[in-house]
Amino acid sequence: MKRTLLMIGVSAFVIAGCTQNDTTNSHGKNIHKFRRSTLAAPSYSRFIPVDSANKMISSYLNSIDYQHNDTDLRSLIFNADSLITYLTNSRLSNVKLMFAHTLDYINNGGQDQYAGYQSGALTLIVAGYDSSGNYVYYSYSSTSPKMVLDQSMPCPTSCPTTGTASNDLLTQ
């Protein structure tokens, strides 16, 4: 159940990050407005009210006793430019978010070892796929390796310290 709630929260973040206007990202590439209509979204991926999201987030946070626990993950943070660059590929029809151990956790002896929800041990791998169910990878150029998105920052440890995003719940 915890994984489901975490997945729903991250999915909402990904969807919300895809409604940008035309702009230029930090790599100097033009980002086009996400072309898919939210009205045509399937039942498994939809926008929800903030109060419903807060109810879901609170349930997860309370289940890990977050007020007395600073080691379990509360959220994962992705760079919006990287996420938008990947998601604007017109071949993508869905995005798969996969739980994974971080390379640091693996390289420090944690490979194949249960990590629970330990901050710094878990991450999400973001991989899009097309309408035929085939993965669509990102490449900087025709000679660069096939890539998917990672490098999320764990919270706690890398949480925002200012602004409304410094709260564990969504504020209006």
Q: Is residue 72 part of a domain?
A: yes
- Alpha carbon distance 88, 156 (integer Å): 29
57 occurs within a structural domain: yes
Q: Is 56 among the domain residues? A: yes
User: What gap in Å lies between CA 86 and CA 81, rounded to an integer?
Assistant: 9
Render pLDDT for 39-96 as a digit per residue (tens, 0 to 9): 455 666 777 778 888 898 999 999 999 999 889 999 999 889 999 998 899 999 999 9
Pairing of strands 122-129, 135-136: antiparallel
CA distances from 120 to 5, 76, 139 (A): 19, 10, 26
* Number of domains composing the chain: 1
Q: Which domain holds residue 24?
A: 2-166
User: Would residue 172 count as lying in a domain?
Assistant: no
- Could you tell me if residue 124 is inside a domain? yes
115-131 mean pLDDT: 91
